[in-house]
Amino acid sequence: MMTTPNVLILAKIKESPMYEEKILSLFQKEPHIILENKGKIELDVLKDFASKIRLSLFEAADRSFFRKRHNAVKTIRIMRDSLIYEYTQRQSNLLVAHFIDKVDPYTSPIEEYNRSIYDMCSHVYNTVSDGGSIAVFCMILGTDMHLFLTGTDASLAAGTLNDVIPTLLDLIGLAKPEEMKGTSIII
């Protein structure tokens, strides 16, 4: 079973070739594919599965939204800080931050929004890399859905959004629940 927290980050860079390039550069040495953008990332099934097997799951996005609604940049900073705090305290086995749909980038200037997304990803990437854990970053860059892995040298096959969580579960040694539509794309 898992000994360190593992991380799933779902994020979106909005209309910025510069920040898309910065993200690609950040993950340039990591396993990476472009996913076929069909199906969905089954977070609801993951939550149900986690409760059934007593997997300790921490959701940074939910924590930030219990508070007063913030603009996009402040929300992402809250998620970053709460996620890294939870990681360093090692209170949960699986950490999730998702803000593809929950945060409207138009509530903050696009440049600030993209900078805060990049800042969050680089903070989490560096923290997780130093701690020897596995992280899966699923990110919309332009019109493409990218999947990056950190903390592993696994190879990836072609896949869809359905395969994101089964792949993470495979990486951390857990069989996916039957009701999940996707499969692991680890080769």
The H or E element spanning position 148 is strand 144-150
pLDDT class of 109 with cuts at 50, 70, 90: confident
Instruction: Give buried/exposed letters for 155-164 (b at 16+ CB in 10 A, else e).
Output: ebeebbbbbb
Report strand pairing: 32-35 vs 144-150.
Answer: antiparallel
Tokens of 15: 């209309």
| φ/ψ of residue 4, rounded to 5 | -130, 160
Q: What is the identity of the amino acid at 106?
A: Y
Q: What is the identity of the amino acid at 103?
A: V
Report the alpha-carbon distance of residue 37 to residue 115 in Å, rounded. Answer: 24
Handedness of CA 148, 152, 158, 162 (dihedral sign): negative
pTM to 2 decimal places: 0.91
Percent of the chain with pLDDT over 70: 89
Q: Which residue has the higher pLDDT, 61 or 105?
A: 61
Least confident span in 23-32, 41-50, 70-79, 153-162: 70-79
Least confident span in 16-25, 99-108, 137-146: 99-108
- Residue 147: alpha-carbon gap to chain centroid: 9
Q: Which residues are within 8 A (CB) of 59 and not within 5 positions of it... i.e. 6 or more apart? A: 96, 97, 98
Average pLDDT over residues 153-160: 94
Average pLDDT over residues 10-37: 95
6-171: which CATH topology? Alkaline Phosphatase, subunit A (3.40.720)
Report the alpha-carbon distance of residue 152 to residue 31 in Å, rounded. Answer: 8
